[in-house]
Amino acid sequence: MADIEKLKKLAKLIRYYILSSTTEASSGHPTSSLSATDLMTVLLFDGIFRFDADNPAHPNNDRLIFSKGHASPLLYALWAAAGKITERELMTLRKFGSPLEGHPTVAFPYVEASTGSLGQGLSIGLGMALNAKYIDKLPYRTYVLLGDSEMSEGSQWEAIQIAAYYKLDNLVGIIDVNRLGQRGETMYGHNLNEYERRISAFGWEPILIDGHSFPELLTSYEKALSVKKPVMIIAKTIKGKGVSFLEDKDGWHGKAPKKEELERALQELGVVDKTITGEITRPDDTKPVRINPVAAGEIHYLPDKPVATRKAYGKALVRIFPSFPDMVVLDAEVCNSTFSEIFKEAHPERFFEMYIAEQNMVGMALGLSRREKIPFISTFGAFFTRAFDQIRMSRYSDANIKFCGSHAGVSIGEDGPSQMGLEDIAMFRAVMNSVVLYPGDAVSTEKLVEEAAKHHGMVYIRTTRMDTPIIYDAQEKFHIGGCKVLRKNDKDLVAIVCAGITLFEALKAYEELKRDGIYARIIDLYSIKPLDSKTLQEAAYSTNAIITVEDHFAEGGIGEAVMSCLHTVATPVYSLAVRKMPKSGKPEELLDYEGISKDAIIQKIKELI
């Protein structure tokens, strides 16, 4: 039977920690934390939430994600009440070098994923719940604390749809409906029925409660354990709850009480018992069954039969899966174009259709990654751009996600600019410590997909729609940070640096130029980030010019990457890239139109010499 009096004492202690730590920091979001204090106190300390506090990495721990990451003072205060951090450590909130950052990051061991950019936590939780139900087959549950303001984000509804589709009855969302956002009242204020109507229409079980009633909270969490569908607890709360001059007052979002205001607030709280500790029920010591890796299969391609690199990507997933049994493949309803359908046919239990909801797909991949899976996710390169916020936030969670963007560049042809990935290299290059790979043929694709799986971190693999010739032997070695010099001569006047589709334009140009006695070095820059700076610098020192050729906009692409590498070298670098408004047409027409074809390369070199 619940000890409500102890829970109330814990809630008061947690409010004390929230107010004291934010005042010490002179910043933070105390009112957003106070509104959800009772919600989280009951969840963690009444036996519902099962977690080994001495082992945050235990595979069967329940998971708690603060999607409303600005309530981080509450998160830290909860773990202080659990005896896992001291009051002194709490006072380092928001200070340089402290793991208690302004919004939760994985520097704090009890944070599941870095949050704070609103609308993402539910997707992350969905990935963890999916992992529990369908992959690890563990009984842990995932809880996500949501803000009412962030329910306007489309990514929330992407997640709500897919959770119902996969019948994730181990996922519980908790909306803290405190009525006030950053600049005033939220869309629906305290009208819980508006949330109920929408959420129930998506196939979830809504539970409406008073978020400060301990009996109602206890009942709602108990009910959530038995419902056979995703559950959304919709809780009416008061922003700033517990302090009269903060309660339901506009203008206090992201504002900490001053020291004299803190004194008033603590007087209202009354006597705080600092001797009590919240106890969290430990989970069963259940662990997932692990599959031992075995060697991957061999690569087989006929040297005289061109193959699209997007198809080689799908084949590679199947080939390497025995070596990486923690792989999971997600696709955004284009698996017959990205060719991840090849993996789906071979391993349907490890393939999950995300439909056309790229933001949620990336968020789910992060959730899977945080549960030690290796997600490979794919769509057209152009469509990853709409999920860039999720992509860049994943980096702050030390994500291990592999992205594959197909249909890169104008060479996709008649479909036109809406389908052309032309900003994708720049986007993924901008992510800290990311890897960007752009293979030219099927063999290099297979090798680089395997290298991506070996690498811990975020990797983008760019694939091409068109079939391309096989130019590499199956025994050729590829590594992240490398490149291949395909043509080299002591008489080289220029070096052509390219990747993907333009590699073959450069090779054709080489043959024509050679007939005229003009020699050019050809470098396949399959690893765009990190670059093989040694090979590029050697080419710059031994030729008169570098020409980069890419099926991508000039901004942020291969040209700028090479220029950054060679900024201390006097050899000029010329960039051939997509600079005109793209349009529909045959691939060869568009390569000519944009000045990145064989003829454009020849013309540029003859201009230079």
- State the fold for domain 307-468: Rossmann fold (3.40.50)
Specify the pTM. 0.97
Q: Which two tokens stand for residue 396?
A: 């702050």
Which SS3 state, helix, strand or coil, does residue 85 take? coil
Residue type, 511: E
Average pLDDT over residues 63-92: 98
435: enclosing H helix or E strand: strand 435-437
Average pLDDT over residues 261-286: 96
Alpha helices in 166-238 (DSSP H): 192-201, 214-226
Q: Which two tokens stand for residue 459?
A: 């990797």
**Main-chain dihedrals φ then ψ at residue 237, nearest 5 degrees:** -130, 170
Q: Is the pLDDT of residue 1 over 60?
A: no
For residue 453, the model assigns a pLDDT of 98
Percent of the chain at pLDDT exceeding 70: 100
Q: Which of 517, 522, 533, 447 is nearest to 482 (CA)?
A: 533
**Total Cβ atoms within 10 A of residue 331:** 26
Q: Which CATH class is domain 484-608?
A: alpha beta
Report the distance separating Cα 582 and Cα 596, nearest Å. Answer: 13
For residue 121, the model assigns a pLDDT of 98
Q: Where in the chain is the domain with CATH 3.40.50.970?
A: 4-269, 307-468
**112 catalytic, yes or no?**
no
Report the distance separating Cα 472 and Cα 115, nearest Å. Answer: 43
pLDDT digits (tens, 9 = 90+) for 30-45: 999 999 999 999 999 9
Provide CB contacts within 8 A for 5, sequence distance 6+: none
pLDDT digits (tens, 9 = 90+) for 591-605: 999 999 999 999 999
- Distance (Å) of CA 205 to CA 196, 289, 486: 9, 31, 60
Which SS3 state, helix, strand or coil, does residue 487 take? strand
**Total Cβ atoms within 10 A of residue 478:** 21
Which SS3 state, helix, strand or coil, does residue 2 take? coil
For residue 110, the model assigns a pLDDT of 98
Q: Band the pLDDT of 577: cuts 50, 70, 90.
A: very high
Contact of 31 with 246, CB cutoff 8 Å: yes
Residue type, 5: E
pLDDT digits (tens, 9 = 90+) for 482-538: 999 999 999 999 999 999 999 999 999 999 999 999 999 999 999 999 999 999 999
Quickly tell me which residue has 């993907």 as its tokens: 500
Cα atoms in the 13 Å half-sphere on the side-chain side of 265: 27
For residue 2, the model assigns a pLDDT of 74
- State the fold for domain 4-269: Rossmann fold (3.40.50)
Report the distance separating Cα 166 and Cα 438, nearest Å. Answer: 33
Average pLDDT score over the chain: 97
For residue 179, the model assigns a pLDDT of 96
Report the distance separating Cα 389 and Cα 121, nearest Å. Answer: 12
Q: Which of 165, 281, 275 is nearest to 221 (CA)?
A: 281
307: enclosing H helix or E strand: strand 307-308
**Main-chain dihedrals φ then ψ at residue 178, nearest 5 degrees:** -100, 5
Average pLDDT over residues 152-168: 98
Average pLDDT over residues 397-401: 98
For residue 353, the model assigns a pLDDT of 98
Q: 295, exposed or middle or buried, with CB in 10 Å at 0-12, 13-18, 19+?
A: exposed
DSSP 39-64: HHHHHHHSSSSB--TT-TT-TT--EE
Cα atoms in the 13 Å half-sphere on the side-chain side of 605: 31
Q: Which long-range contacts does 4-8 make (Cβ < 8 Å, 24+ apart)?
A: 4/214, 4/215, 4/218, 6/45, 6/276, 7/41, 7/42, 7/45, 7/46, 7/214, 8/214
Query: Which one is catalytic: 358, 550, 560, 594?
Result: 358
Which SS3 state, helix, strand or coil, does residue 592 take? helix
Q: Which of 73, 168, 66, 83 is nearest to 127 (CA)?
A: 168
pLDDT digits (tens, 9 = 90+) for 58-75: 999 999 999 999 999 999
Residue type, 486: L
